[in-house]
């Protein structure tokens, strides 16, 4: 069984996923894995180079993130093309990874679970939400960045109401001490469900 966990910037989805990992659940960080695949996956590299030119990679083979970012920043068609190359690669990699895991179920962490269509790669979805000011404050404290840039990033993401509507479960992340029992409860639920599924199969 596969669980997708999403949430906007500063909502605490990585913190929630860390708590699942601490409970022995295998967690796939799709943002990190997408970056890895863009460097390591030969077919994806070739497709990115074909679409964006050899400048997408530096002479020593590293992904030229600055160049790619500048190409997609103001060009929505270029961004859609890049997404259309990267998202299927992540989906395939996640499926292969999930098949190798031994935990009763696995967790996929993605800031863009719904936008990337990754919700179709999982059986249940969880949205992590938190009050706007708290998210802003946490992100500024963590990244040391200014409010304006965080607000811009927030505006580009699905809002909490939409996430709540679309997800099967919602974790409201306000007090840190409440998170552990909430994750424990979800873990019990998912473990039981995974057990029933195996039994019924």
Interaction of residue 11 with ligand ATP, rule CB under 6 A: yes
Indicate which single residue of 133, 148, 161, 176 sits in contact with ligand ATP (rule: CB under 6 A): 176
Interaction of residue 173 with ligand ATP, rule CB under 6 A: yes
In a 3-state reduction of DSSP, which class is residue 101?
Answer: coil
Indicate which single residue of 124, 126, 138, 163 sits in contact with ligand ATP (rule: CB under 6 A): 138
Q: Which is nearer to ligand ATP, 176 or 200 (CB)?
A: 176
Integer angstrom CA distances of residue 78 from 51, 74, 75, 84, 161: 9, 9, 5, 10, 29
Round to whole Å and give the CA distance between 56 and 65. 7
Indicate which single residue of 1, 3, 5, 7 sits in contact with ligand ATP (rule: CB under 6 A): 7
In a 3-state reduction of DSSP, which class is residue 150?
Answer: helix
Indicate which single residue of 2, 4, 5, 13 sits in contact with ligand ATP (rule: CB under 6 A): 13
Report in angstroms how near the CB of residue 197 gets to ligand ATP at its nearest. Answer: 28
Round to whole Å and give the CA distance between 65 and 58. 9
Residues in region 63-82 near ligand ATP by CB under 6 A: none
Q: Which is nearer to ligand ATP, 92 or 140 (CB)?
A: 140
Burial call 66-98: b when 16+ CB within 10 Å, e when fewer: eebeebbeeeeebeebbbebbbebbbebbeeeb
Length of the chain, please?
201
Q: Which is nearer to ligand ATP, 56 or 139 (CB)?
A: 139
Q: Residue numbers of the site for ligand ATP (CB under 6 A)?
A: 7, 9-15, 111, 138-139, 142, 173, 175-176, 179
């Amino acid at each position: 069984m596969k669980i997708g966990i999403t949430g906007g910037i500063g909502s605490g989805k990585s913190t929630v996923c860390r708590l699942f990992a601490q409970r022995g659940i295998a967690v796939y960080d799709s943002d990190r894995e997408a970056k890895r695949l863009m460097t390591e996956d030969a077919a994806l590299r070739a497709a990115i180079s074909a679409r964006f030119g050899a400048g997408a990679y530096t002479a020593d083979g590293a992904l030229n993130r600055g160049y790619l970012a500048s190409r997609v920043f103001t060009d929505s068609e270029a961004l859609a093309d890049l997404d259309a190359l990267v998202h299927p690669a992540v989906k395939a990699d996640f499926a292969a990874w999930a098949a190798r895991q031994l935990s009763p179920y696995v967790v996929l962490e993605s800031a863009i679970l719904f936008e990337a269509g990754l919700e179709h790669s999982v059986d249940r979805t969880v949205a992590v939400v938190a009050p706007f000011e708290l998210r802003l404050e946490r992100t500024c404290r963590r990244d040391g960045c200014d409010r304006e840039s965080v607000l811009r990033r927030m505006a580009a993401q699905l809002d909490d109401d939409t996430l709540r509507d679309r997800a099967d479960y919602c974790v409201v992340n306000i007090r840190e001490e409440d998170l552990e029992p909430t994750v424990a409860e979800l873990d019990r639920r998912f473990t039981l469900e995974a057990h029933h599924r195996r039994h019924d199969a």
